[in-house]
Amino acid sequence: MKHKQYILENLEITDAGAEGKSVAKHEGLTIFVTGAVPGDIVDALVFKKKKSYAEARCLRIIQPSPHRIPPRCEHFGTCGGCKWQMLDYQQQLFYKQKQVTDNFQHLGHFEYPEPQPILASESQYGYRNKMEFTFTHQRWLSQEDMLAQQEGKTIEIRGLGFHVPSKFDKVLDIQQCHLQAEPSNRIRTAVRDFAIRQEIPFYNLRNHEGLLRNLVIRMSSTGELMVILVVTDLNEQAKCVLDFLSTEFPEITSLQYVVNQKMNDSTSDQEFHTYKGQPYMMEKMGELDFKVGPASFYQTNSRQAYRLYQVAAEFAEIAPNDIVYDLYTGTGTIANFVARNAQKVVGIEYVEAAIEDARVNSSINHIDNTVFYAGDMSKVLTPDFVQQNGRPNVVITDPPRNGMHPDVIEQLLLMEPQRIVYVSCNPATQARDLTLLNEKYQVTRVQPVDMFPHTQHVENVVQLQLRTFTQNNTES
């Protein structure tokens, strides 16, 4: 009986939850519903039930929410990339801000001031500077496709697009994605159609056969364009696709390829080869120039990243004699962004290639007061390391979604910098870490930032002040 599916009628959706789902209550049970927005009244099919919650999907909308809007994308509902596209943008911002306060209230044990109003994204569409698409020899078929097959009609089953949620071997062929500006769609559809005409084998995700695996398109605010083709072999057919890209899209400033024969799509450990143009593209943020290689991490919403770093720099309140540590520095974007305000900036990052990029970015911007180290954060950041590089006055930390390692938090408590600026893409793990830091630090400012419209994701910047430092300042 536990796994029996059943329908709940006239279910009122009252809130937004995690992973883009919405929330309803029924007889004391919390119901997480996909395909609905707060304010909807729906019939929902419950397909999983636990002791304290259930999961359901919207079958039909009985009364739409006043905040429900028509989704722009024809692939909405199958592609899992924009789960909130049917929710008015102002409401998206409301629930992202609420996500921060809910996590702080329910998961954290610390005092904090009222968060500042969330910074909206300047662009709601076309904001992504990087998109990765997957080739498939057999695309995800819609009901119309399957009906056409049953009627004996021939349909094209090869495709180039996004993985269907929870289906590693199923790819949805994309006609148009609204998250990246042109020529992204033109490039993707042209490559797909050309490869189909030329009978070039698309990759079989189950059998691991075929030539064409992935297509990555990166665009910079300076107008430069990088395209990366991932193949299983650099044979004549692969060269044929690369030549097609070069001829058909002369605006490509960096044409790269990767030969990936592994079972997974990750290319971070593979060698990138330049087929045409430069081996990098240039990005600009404020007065700084950044060299972005094919494997370099760079915030995918360039304009909003600038605002995020401005907030981080403001919260850091760096003085000319300050030593600043930038933890999880990546390619050194934040470190270089704040370097001119400090005496010295020390960046630490796990990925060696990213650290090489960070050093290059300091060099091209004539910044000579940064030093960068590669290694496991919990092992690099030790008392000996602090003695060698100087005790920081300010620490900026921007960890991955799972937050900071307990050893890193312990070292922060030992170092006692006057201020910590915590940039997070996951307010839940941020709340956990802030609770651990609460022993010595007081949260003094909170600023949410929307980097990814139409998704549930939110960035959040927090300023923490050392309690003794705060008290001394107050007394003086």
Overall average pLDDT of the 1-20 stretch: 86
Reply yes or no on whether 73 is catalytic. Answer: no
Q: Report the C-alpha gap between 402 and 10 in whole angstroms.
A: 37
**Is the model's pLDDT at 470 over the cut of 80?**
no
Overall average pLDDT of the 176-201 stretch: 97
Residue 63: CATH number of its domain: 2.40.50.140
Which of 62-66's residues contact partners 24+ apart within 8 Å by CB, and which partners? 62/9, 62/10, 64/39, 64/40, 65/13, 65/37, 65/38, 65/39, 65/40, 66/39
User: Do residues 258 and 311 both lie within one domain?
Assistant: no
Residue 174: CATH number of its domain: 2.40.50.1070
Residue 417: CATH number of its domain: 3.40.50.150
What's the pLDDT at 145? 86
What's the pLDDT at 142? 86
User: Do residues 185 and 327 both lie within one domain?
Assistant: no
User: Do residues 107 and 150 both lie within one domain?
Assistant: no
The answer to the question of residue 85 being in a domain is no
And the tokens for 316? 């850091």
Q: Report the C-alpha gap between 76 and 174 in whole angstroms.
A: 11
454, 92 Cβ separation under 8 angstroms: yes
What's the pLDDT at 124? 96
What percentage of residues in the chain have a pLDDT greater than 70?
A: 98
**Is the model's pLDDT at 474 over the cut of 60?**
no
What's the pLDDT at 90? 97
**Is the model's pLDDT at 180 over the cut of 80?**
yes
Which of 77-81, 235-239, 249-253 has the weakest average pLDDT?
77-81
User: Do residues 145 and 212 both lie within one domain?
Assistant: yes
**Is the model's pLDDT at 136 over the cut of 60?**
yes
Of the residues 52, 68, 84, the one at which a domain ends: 68
Of the residues 236, 252, 279, the one at which a domain ends: 279
The full 3-state SS of 159-176, as one line of letters, equals EEEEECCCCCCCEEECCC
The answer to the question of residue 305 being in a domain is yes
Work out the pLDDT band at 472, boundaries 50, 70, 90: low
Amino acid present at 187? I
The answer to the question of residue 166 being in a domain is yes
What's the pLDDT at 20? 87
The answer to the question of residue 197 being in a domain is yes
Closest CA to 130 of 2, 36, 20, 221: 221
And the tokens for 404? 């900071």
Which 3 state secondary structure label does DSSP give 352? helix
What's the pLDDT at 1? 43
User: Do residues 250 and 335 both lie within one domain?
Assistant: no
**Is the model's pLDDT at 291 over the cut of 70?**
yes
Q: What is the pLDDT of residues 211-248, one digit of tens each?
A: 999 999 999 999 999 999 999 999 999 999 999 999 99
User: Do residues 410 and 437 both lie within one domain?
Assistant: yes
Q: What is the pLDDT of residues 368-395, one digit of tens each?
A: 999 999 999 999 999 999 999 999 999 9
And the tokens for 240? 């044929």
User: Do residues 181 and 313 both lie within one domain?
Assistant: no
And the tokens for 41? 């009244």
Q: Tell me whether strands 281-285 and 288-292 are parallel, antiparallel or unpaired.
A: antiparallel
188, 198 Cβ separation under 8 angstroms: no
Amino acid present at 237? Q
CA angle, 119 as apex, 118 and 125 as ends, to 5°? 120
Amino acid present at 434? L
**Is the model's pLDDT at 58 over the cut of 70?**
yes
User: Do residues 146 and 162 both lie within one domain?
Assistant: yes
Of the residues 279, 298, 327, the one at which a domain ends: 279
And the tokens for 189? 């559809």
Overall average pLDDT of the 292-303 stretch: 92
Q: Which residue is catalytic, options 73, 79, 82, 425?
A: 425
CA angle, 367 as apex, 363 and 372 as ends, to 5°? 75
Amino acid present at 331? T
User: Do residues 367 and 463 both lie within one domain?
Assistant: yes
The answer to the question of residue 75 being in a domain is no
The answer to the question of residue 443 being in a domain is yes
**Is the model's pLDDT at 6 over the cut of 60?**
yes
Domain residue limits at 430:
93-123+287-475
**Is the model's pLDDT at 205 over the cut of 60?**
yes
Overall average pLDDT of the 38-55 stretch: 94
Domain count along the chain: 3
User: Do residues 222 and 370 both lie within one domain?
Assistant: no
284, 290 Cβ separation under 8 angstroms: yes
What's the pLDDT at 195? 98
Q: What is the pTM of this model?
A: 0.92
**Is the model's pLDDT at 473 over the cut of 90?**
no
The answer to the question of residue 341 being in a domain is yes
Q: What is the mean pLDDT of the chain?
A: 94
Overall average pLDDT of the 97-119 stretch: 96
Strand partners, 24: 13, 31
What's the pLDDT at 471? 57
What percentage of residues in the chain have a pLDDT greater than 90?
A: 88
User: Do residues 320 and 460 both lie within one domain?
Assistant: yes
Q: Report the C-alpha gap between 462 and 10 in whole angstroms.
A: 40
Q: Report the C-alpha gap between 108 and 47 in whole angstroms.
A: 31
User: Do residues 332 and 202 both lie within one domain?
Assistant: no
Strand partners, 285: 288
The answer to the question of residue 81 being in a domain is no
